[in-house]
Structure 1
């Protein structure tokens, strides 16, 4: 496909890199000279310098009546540019347009996109709030992701020296806990990662990606993590921007007592009017005395959502050192995610990663398959797809399928029920399957299941 991307910030750059590597004909439009030069020098794409909301600039990129552009993706940090670029593209006959929405009001309802003729409007703030909420529910996880329409999740669980199942094989764990329906789909060990089998043992320092039903996560926690106190009922959120607003609102709606701290007085006044169930505090989120006075301790969480990655990392360390049960920092740069394994921070959530992956998903799998990269550095992917009626895999057991090594079918949803399959499970037409695979094996897995990507 010929794809025009407006905006070469971190989101646009990552999308352009991934789609060009997939073999698409990519054109990037960027008016900032530094970002324009970076794309021109580092990516195998065509570039056009200029404002992506101007018809003349878009025409130079191939967005014009009778042109060959198949899709336009507008992902600058300005709503007016994104919306206008998508509108111009639609008027020129581009079949599909996607806009990043900075203003939350644009994604409060799908009507905005429909009225503007935009096929998809995406915002990272809600995804960040959802992930933070999941991480507080699963205090022992560093990352989480829902699958099977929320019936189950994949949790990234660090294995500590006091893990109850340390040095046990996965087969031994399964034998000891027969009531637990859990599948370890990936293990990151040092600089390498692999999809394990029953003989592999849990080692100190492993990061295990575990697929488990939502209702059984407490049982899974007892198998992989030492005993913990009850769930988190209080949370400190530092930063009253769009991310902090969404995180505070979601946590408060789920019964968590939230204290939102921001240094701007007028913003605090507005937030206190808009967030009725949140205690809004005008102050400095790095003030140790203030945090202690407000009651930070081992029963609460600390989430830093300011506009600075560096501040969020430092504040998360501070919150953890003051005794917070779980400290989470929100960052934009993917390179900072590794800091969670170095500094005393429980989790770092990347606000741009979810947005980039969502956009890439809609391009790679337009028929509705959902593909999400859990962590860029582990090189593994999760795919949710449906077995077609005419699939050659329908009626076969998993043992009979030619699934490449480095991939595993983790869950099947059939009708109203979801279950973790074994080698004797037969696939049926219309089964919804969750596949976890090494990144370079994904297309081979889909081919073995008879799933077409176009």
Structure 2
């Protein structure tokens, strides 16, 4: 695929580093000198403004399949996408940072004003981050959650604690509930697909796939916190804090929101009818103690400052909060945050990248989800009409993979070795990203 990327920003680098190996990528920016880190990527560079027709022509925009605008200026991204639409049929993806622009460009009420210059996809990282945080809060102790087959199949990721009863045990020795499979383990930031003899270690991030009820049973048997979240503390009343509080209110969760700016507090108080708005500093230990933040089921730190988020998180943890979710702006800080004991580290850039990669693969309906920053993929593949009935244990794939779900008509089956696979079955397969193409090719034969 030929991709034009406008914006030599941190987001631009994250996108480019994920895409350049498999795609013909050209970067556009009006900088005098390209940042050094981009020089390590095998990409082309065109100097100039992404909204300039002549610059786009120099970048062969007419031949592009995809145009991504992620400069630091929202209006520049929007105009660049509009301009690209004038000279190319490429799909356009536009990053924005402001709520009002996202709503104006993405609102269903604007459909009556549609034109050929409309932007195909609007990505607002803060909105995606909010969705990710809320989904994680909704599942006690999980650090990642994905849904498949209209919610009939789910993927939950848990971090194994020192006190876990499955620590240092082989998978085959753990009596997991029926309809639950371990499909992946991340250890020292590297994802791998285990087998029955694999030993689960402390601090592993283990990925389970199964039905909702089965995963609920899993949590009840093997994970300590099985109680529904009832109270939440949110530190930071920006876009993410505000939208998250709205979602938590709708879910019936009591919210205490701490925000430093008095004017912003007034706005929050006017628009959040069931949340307690506290004007103050989230690093003020006296405030946190006085408002019993440590008694909250979960504390979410979502200010725009990594250092402040880390300090707020550590204070809340010291006060006894059951679970901490912390926003990180600089993804290089994620490992540090995890090492000092933060339960879940989330990033708007990671949320946006996951959405972008999913959009990029939207035409390829075989890819359902990306896991661990793209290290793993969840594929949906259909067995051909000429396929002869085969047991799962005898079904050979060209690379290591796990069949997590078999969809047969309206039935959803969580297979084991003796499950028969039939022609027309739709398989949901977990595999490493590096092996995904080989597996898809095998099904295409």
Fold-level match, TM-score > 0.5?
Answer: yes
1:335 aligns with 332
1:14 aligns with 14
1:87 aligns with 82
1:155 aligns with 156
1:445 to 424, 428, 439: 439
User: Which has the higher mean CA deviation after the structures are superposed, 311-320 or 421-430?
Assistant: 421-430
2-structure distance, mates of 1:393, 1:239 = 55
1:406 to 400, 424, 434: 400
2-structure distance, mates of 1:409, 1:233 = 36
2-structure distance, mates of 1:402, 1:192 = 25
Superposed displacement of residue 118, structure 1: 1.6
2:380 aligns with 385
**1:345 and 2:339 matched:** no
Cα pair 1:391 1:450 within 8 Å, conserved: no
**1:122 and 2:123 matched:** yes
Q: What are the equivalent positions in structure 2 for 1:197-276 lying under 5 Å apart?
A: 197-225=195-223, 227-228=224-225, 230-276=227-273
1:297 aligns with 294
Superposed displacement of residue 241, structure 1: 1.6
Superposed displacement of residue 220, structure 1: 0.9
Structure 2 spans left out of the alignment, 5+ residues: none
Superposed displacement of residue 122, structure 1: 2.1
1:43 to 15, 24, 41: 41
Do the aligned partners of residues 97 and 33 (structure 1) sit closer, same or farther apart at CA in structure 2, a change above 3 Å counting?
A: same
Do the aligned partners of residues 345 and 394 (structure 1) sit closer, same or farther apart at CA in structure 2, a change above 3 Å counting?
A: farther
**1:194 and 2:188 matched:** no
Do the aligned partners of residues 355 and 9 (structure 1) sit closer, same or farther apart at CA in structure 2, a change above 3 Å counting?
A: same
2-structure distance, mates of 1:168, 1:39 = 42
2-structure distance, mates of 1:289, 1:394 = 69
2:28 aligns with 29
Q: TM-score, normalised by structure 2?
A: 0.89
2-structure distance, mates of 1:328, 1:162 = 20
Superposed displacement of residue 38, structure 1: 3.1
1:3 aligns with 3
**1:58 and 2:56 matched:** yes
2:228 is paired with a residue of what secondary structure? Answer: coil
2-structure distance, mates of 1:31, 1:274 = 40
CA RMSD, 1 decimal: 2.6
2:303 aligns with 306
Matched positions, count: 438
C-alpha distance after superposition, 1:198-246 (max 9, x if no partner): 2323333332111132233331123332x43622211111112221122
1:162 is paired with a residue of what secondary structure? Answer: coil
Do the aligned partners of residues 317 and 404 (structure 1) sit closer, same or farther apart at CA in structure 2, a change above 3 Å counting?
A: farther
Superposed displacement of residue 405, structure 1: 4.0
**1:367 and 2:368 matched:** no
Q: TM-score, normalised by structure 1?
A: 0.87
1-structure distance, mates of 2:37, 2:189 = 29
2:60 is paired with a residue of what secondary structure? Answer: coil
2-structure distance, mates of 1:394, 1:299 = 55
2:424 is paired with a residue of what secondary structure? Answer: coil
Superposed displacement of residue 112, structure 1: 5.0
C-alpha distance after superposition, 1:237-279 (max 9, x if no partner): 1112221122111111111111222111111112222222322
2-structure distance, mates of 1:168, 1:132 = 30
1-structure distance, mates of 2:20, 2:236 = 36
Do the aligned partners of residues 337 and 435 (structure 1) sit closer, same or farther apart at CA in structure 2, a change above 3 Å counting?
A: farther
Superposed displacement of residue 339, structure 1: 2.4
Superposed displacement of residue 428, structure 1: 4.2
Do the aligned partners of residues 422 and 104 (structure 1) sit closer, same or farther apart at CA in structure 2, a change above 3 Å counting?
A: farther
Do the aligned partners of residues 191 and 355 (structure 1) sit closer, same or farther apart at CA in structure 2, a change above 3 Å counting?
A: closer
